[in-house]
Amino acid sequence: MTAHNNTALDPNPFPARESLSPPNAGTRRWMGLALLTLPTALLGLDLTLLHLALPALAVDLRPTSTEALWIMDAYGFMIAGFLITMGTLGDRIGRRKLLMIGAAAFAAASLIAAFSTSSMMLILARAALGIAGATLMPSTLALISNLFSDPRERALAIGVWATTFALGMALGPVVGGLLLEHFWWGAAFLVAVPVVGLLLVLTPVLLPEFRVPQSGRLDLTSVALSLAAMLPVVYGIKDVAKHGPSFAAIGIMATGIIFGLIFVRRQQRLADPLLEIGLFGSRGFSVALVVLLFGLIAVGGTLLLVTQYLQLVAGFSPLVAGLWMGLPALAMVAAGVGAPLVARHIRPGFVVAGALALSVVGYLMLSGLDNANDLGKIIVGFSLVYLGLGTIAALGTDLVVTSAPAEKAGSASAMSETVQDLGASLGIAILGSIATAVYRGAMAEEIPEGLSVAVRASVGDSLWAASSVQQGLPNGLMENAQAAFITGFSTVATLCAIVVSILTLLAAVALRKIPPLNAAAPLNDGG
């Protein structure tokens, strides 16, 4: 009996990768993959869905710049914080079961977010969405590893999965723009409800249950330590980026690092750890994680600034701004689907390095923005950036999973998902804060006397805040604010170009010995 027809728990949930003639996936498995892309796209969508809604939020909920950043990245931080825990929980209770529980919770949190009446309520709803989302992602990738045993089919399936997540991120502004054209900002969250409904109906039909046999109990101490390590470090980074180094921020980060060391030591002693520390002994595993993390940091922060530029500098409506993001999205999809195919004939490390080199060109184009008329630079430059994103999302994820032993695929999958979500969230937090700091520095001497305290605070805070009070601003001040924003954007793009250049060299050197995917195993061309 094939795995896709098996309704019982599979005693061997991680098929051996070294099989010389693994079975090809049947139609039902590919249908299962299509179903698994639904929550994956939804999670990516929610990371960027509110990018175009910030101006509307500014008018409705009037968040501070700090609250606005938390609205944007609370979701991603909570996903990243709980992914490893939820991946382990799925091993114990069943990945299909966890997928369905998480989906139902995600829909409920989406409803709360849609009808939030304050900034704090929305932040809490986004955090709840993140925790629910953390139950979905490990389940989807682990189930894909279960469904596809042929290395080439699995690489293609993981490429589709990763591309779908990145596509969700890319389409967030488009979907948000379409909805904002006709509805209030909260309607964007309601997209999750019909998607979750379809998932809950079809999952029992198309997906078998998988669980790691004889899995140990969930170590709650490790769960607490992982959160105590990650969240203070993230908070400290945000604070330093926003206000500059301080004893308080450094102390908070140091506390997180100490808890991180305690967490690592505990994992090394446990017979059934929450995180397999030994996985980092593989160069391919570690380097792929580094590329994914810093690549997503660069993309996450840049995407936020691009969408703000289109709306607040170029002056497009949310719908038009979202549609202009269509070309970069197509570039990312092409790279996500094409990269695994190219990597069948060219070493994956060189494919990743080549795509990242194109991203560097894109970041350099973005660093040269001058005014509101640089639309061509924005679209072409960001399309090149997205080419790199699609490639590292597809190949990076596969390199992480396949660099680990088959029995550790679950832990490897959780780590891949963790760094991607953390990267996108850190990008929004760190690069968004750097851009804001540059903006405030540029505007410090530009705000004239005679404005009310509230208006001065808005103009000096950020461009989106200035846009909420632009009706009462003196001539030329809004243009100065836009110029200050562009300066911050260019600074961030330059930093990204430097970071991604380093990643390009790292991928070319450290991953050069990984063979083409075509050499992983012969393809069984039979049915």
Give me the CATH number covering residue 342: 1.20.1250.20
Secondary structure (DSSP) of 418-430: HHHHHHHHHIIII
83 and 225 belong to one structural domain: no
Give the per-residue pLDDT at 21: 38
Identify whether residues 372 and 448 lie together within a single domain: yes
Is the residue at 14 inside a domain? no
The answer as to whether 431 is a domain residue is yes
Shortest CA distance to 90 belongs to which of 8, 206, 211, 207?
A: 211
Please, what is the Cα angle at 501 between 498 and 504, to 5 degrees? 155
Residue 215 pLDDT: 60
Q: Is there a contact between 413 and 14 (Cβ–Cβ < 8 Å)?
A: no
Mean pLDDT across 248-263: 92
Number of domains in the chain: 2
Residues 158 and 91 placed together within one structural domain of the fold: yes
Give the pLDDT band of residue 312 (cuts 50, 70, 90): confident
Over residues 134-187, the pLDDT tens digits come to 888 777 877 877 777 666 676 677 767 766 776 676 677 677 777 877 888 888
**Residue 409, pLDDT score:** 62
In a domain, 4, yes or no: no
Q: Answer with the residue of higher pLDDT: 6 or 374.
A: 374
Residue 263 lies in domain: 219-273
Share of the chain above pLDDT 90, in %: 16
User: How far is C-alpha 382 from the chain's CA centre?
Assistant: 17
Q: Which residues contact 261 (CB under 8 A, 6 or more apart)?
A: none
- Mean of the per-residue pLDDT values of the chain: 79
The answer to whether the CB of 310 falls within 8 A of the CB of 378 is yes
Residues 478-489: what's their mean pLDDT?
88
As a whole number, mean pLDDT of residues 254-268 equals 92
pLDDT for the residue numbered 2: 34
456 or 295: whose pLDDT is higher? 295
| Structural domain includes residue 19 | no
Residue of 308, 332, 330 lying closest to 321 (CA atoms):
308
Which of 234, 251, 273 is at the close of a domain?
273
Q: Which residue has the tokens 């910030």?
A: 54
Domain boundary among 231, 256, 273: 273
Measured between alpha carbons, how far is residue 246 from residues 70, 239, 253 in Å? Answer: 20, 9, 11
Q: Is residue 285 domain-shared with residue 187, that is, in the same domain? A: yes
Residues sharing a CB contact under 8 Å with residue 47, sequence separation 6 or more, in sequence order = 75, 76, 168, 169, 172, 300, 421, 424, 425
DSSP string of 271-313, one letter each residue: SS-SS-GGGGG-HHHHHHHHHHHHHHHHHHHHHHHHHHIIIII
Mean pLDDT over residues 408-425, rounded? 69
Q: How far apart are alpha carbons 173 and 191 in whole angstroms?
A: 13
Residue 114 maps to a domain = yes
Measured distance CA(520)–CA(527) in Å, rounded: 20
Q: Which of 82-91, 322-331, 458-467, 505-514 has the highest mean pLDDT?
A: 505-514
Q: What is the pLDDT of residue 15?
A: 38
Q: Does 54 share its domain with 133? A: yes
Between residues 91 and 300, the one the model is more confident about: 300
Statement to judge: residues 162 and 243 lie in one domain: no
> Residue 522: its pLDDT value, please?
39
Do residues 238 and 315 share a domain?
no
Kindly state whether residues 265 and 283 are assigned to the same domain.
Answer: no
Considering the domain boundaries, does residue 24 fall inside one? no
Give the Cα separation of 380 and 259 in Å (integer): 43
- Cα–Cα distances (Å) from 16 to 194, 397, 405, 409, 439, in that order, read 36, 18, 9, 11, 53
CB 303 within 8 A of CB 48: yes
User: Is 193 or 455 the better-scoring residue by pLDDT?
Assistant: 193
| Tens-place pLDDT, residues 422-439 | 677 678 777 888 888 888
334 or 162, greater pLDDT: 334
C-alpha 397/C-alpha 457 separation (Å) is 43
Percentage above 70 pLDDT, the chain: 82
Q: Does residue 21 lie within any of the structural domains? A: no
Considering the domain boundaries, does residue 385 fall inside one?
yes
Q: 351-355, 451-455, 509-513: which has the highest mean pLDDT?
A: 351-355
Whether residue 187 is found in the same domain as residue 280: yes
Distance CA 295, CA 274 (A): 26
Cα dist from 170 to 89, 383, 389, whole Å: 30, 11, 10
Residue 524: its pLDDT value, please? 36
Boundary-marking domain end, from 227, 253, 273: 273
Same domain for 385 and 369: yes
pLDDT at position 520 over 80: no
Q: Does residue 175 sit in the same domain as residue 241? A: no
pLDDT tens digits, one per residue of 361-379? 999 999 988 776 788 899 9
Please choose, from the candidates 409, 392, 393, 389, the residue with its C-alpha nearest in 3D space to the C-alpha of residue 401. Answer: 409
Instruction: Give the side-chain half-sphere CA count within 13 A for 306.
Output: 36
List b or e across 261-279, with b for residues whose CB sees 16 or more CB atoms inside 10 angstroms.
Answer: eebeebbeeeebbbbbbeb
DSSP letter at 514 equals S
Of residues 68 and 265, more confidently modeled: 265
Segment 177-229, tens digit of pLDDT: 778 778 888 887 888 889 899 989 988 888 877 766 666 677 888 888 988 88
| Judgement on whether residues 119 and 195 belong to the same structural domain of the protein | yes
Is residue 497 predicted with pLDDT exceeding 90?
Answer: yes
Lowest mean pLDDT among 247-251, 335-339, 452-456, 493-497: 452-456
